[in-house]
Amino acid sequence: MGYWALVGTIENWELALQKGVWGVSEKAKPLWQRVQPGDKVVFYAVKTGILGYGTVQQKFISNDPLWPREKQEGRALWPYRLTIKIEEKFEKPKPRPKNMFVAFAINKLTEQAFNEAIH
């Protein structure tokens, strides 16, 4: 089982958590390819904090615009997608642990960093 941080804006996370879907761009495809069903993910919103966590159910590619910016541009900007079973959505965002890397749209985490992020 792998552990990952999924990173995006609070606006994109609001829709993603409603739909149970997250997507990343072509640039993040190599990391997306490493994510597997059953892996655990934390939801991190830039400048906001950790919004919750879940389990990856499946991976798929879709060119259907889903997020507001995609609809505005009329194309999928984040076509590499994950269906996620949301385990918990925090009432109030939690601060990011110091050992949690969030430089990319998908970031590999250690089990320890994952556990620190959700507790």
Kind of pairing, strands 3-8 and 40-45?
A: parallel
Residue type, 13: W
| C-alpha triplet 35, 28, 94: angle, nearest 5° | 70
Residue 76's domain comprises 3-118
Rounded-to-integer distance, Cα 2 and Cα 48, Å: 24
pLDDT at 43: 97
- Whether residue 98 is predicted with pLDDT greater than 90 in this model: the reply is no
Is-contact 110 14, C-beta < 8 A? no
Kindly report the CATH number assigned to the domain that includes residue 20: 3.10.590.10
Amino acid 6: pLDDT? 97
**Residue 7, pLDDT score:** 97
User: What is the pairing mode between strands 49-61 and 40-45?
Assistant: antiparallel
Per the structure, the count of domains in the chain is: 1
What's the pLDDT tens digit per position in 6-50? 999 999 999 999 999 999 999 999 999 999 999 999 999 999 999
Structure pTM? 0.94
